[in-house]
A = this chain, B = another copy of it.
Amino acid sequence: MLQYDFEESVGYWITITSHFYQDALNQELIPYGITFRQFQVIGWLVYEGPLSQVELADRMMIEPPTLVRILDRMERDQWIKRENNLEDRRRKVVKVCPEAKTVWSQMVACLKQLRKKATQGMSAEDIDTLKSLLMQVQKNLGVNVSEYETA
């Protein structure tokens, strides 16, 4: 009764696999002296261009006060800078420092290498299948189970 069959749980597989992936990614990031969250900040800014802090916090799915200190550390280490927005003086716009962009492209190369490693021996169909199954799980978790049960 007490026992829970972890090894038969999707959650368990996903969690463990993600853990492995995180560890591998962190290993790649260590040489750059950057954390996963900092990496994410740069990624979003490169991807979407300069953003305000609320916008960035929203995309990272964290609270603004949490972001503040992440950005403090990144500003200290010259990865990003905060600029006052002239139209709306409450806002600050976060931008990636030019030097960070060079490092970013190196990190992208590492990422692609890691992705290649992770999907070794898998066909394009396998990868597609994996993606769609994970998407399904994500979608399932986003909705309320009761809505499904009554349907």
Contacts and interface: CB of A to CB of B under 8 A. Distances in A.
Interface of A: 1-4, 6, 9-11, 13-22, 24-25, 43, 46-47, 61, 101, 104-105, 108, 111-122, 126-127, 129-131, 133-138, 140-142, 145, 148
B10 A142 contact: no
A133 B136 contact: no
A130 B13 contact: yes
A129 B14 CA distance: 13
A137 B130 CA distance: 10
* Binding site secondary structure of chain A: helix
A140 B122 CA distance: 10
6 contacts: A4-B43, A10-B119, A13-B134, A20-B141, A130-B137, A133-B133
A62 to B, nearest CB: 11
Contact of A101 (B2, B11, B121): B2
Q: Which 8 A-B pairs have the closest CB atoms?
A: A18-B18, A117-B145, A130-B133, A4-B108, A13-B134, A120-B140, A20-B141, A17-B134
A118 B105 CA distance: 36
